[in-house]
Amino acid sequence: MMSIEDFRAAPFEKKCYVVLAQTIFIAASECGDAMVYLYHTGEYYIEVYYSPRYQKVLTINAIDDNKDLEPYAEAVSLDDLSL
């Protein structure tokens, strides 16, 4: 797995490959006219902003600060874990 610094510096195509091949989907939410998909690499999180209107990925961001994850807390449910 590449470091978050290497991911941030990688070209767009490489970022897409990492998201598709090396992450786990966590959650999705709406942000204006875009959808935001959150993935986890095991070391850091990746946000993918997608425009349904234009049918393309707008941007891909790597985040490692827990404060950046707060907007996703409402969308995550632990009900299916049978705890």
The 10s digit of each residue's pLDDT in 29-50 is: 898 999 999 999 999 999 999 9
What's 4-65's CATH class?
A: alpha beta
Rg, the chain, Cα only: 13
Q: Are strands 34-40 and 24-31 parallel, antiparallel or unpaired?
A: antiparallel
Q: Would you state the pLDDT for residue 72?
A: 76
Domain boundaries along the sequence of the chain:
4-65
Both ends of the chain: CA-CA distance in Å?
A: 31
pLDDT at 57 exceeding the cut of 80? yes
Q: Would you state the pLDDT for residue 75?
A: 64
Give the pLDDT mean for 55-70.
91
Give the pLDDT mean for 4-16.
97
Q: In the chain, what percentage of residues exceed pLDDT 70?
A: 88
Task: Please state the pTM of the whole predicted model.
Answer: 0.84
Q: Would you state the pLDDT for residue 80?
A: 60
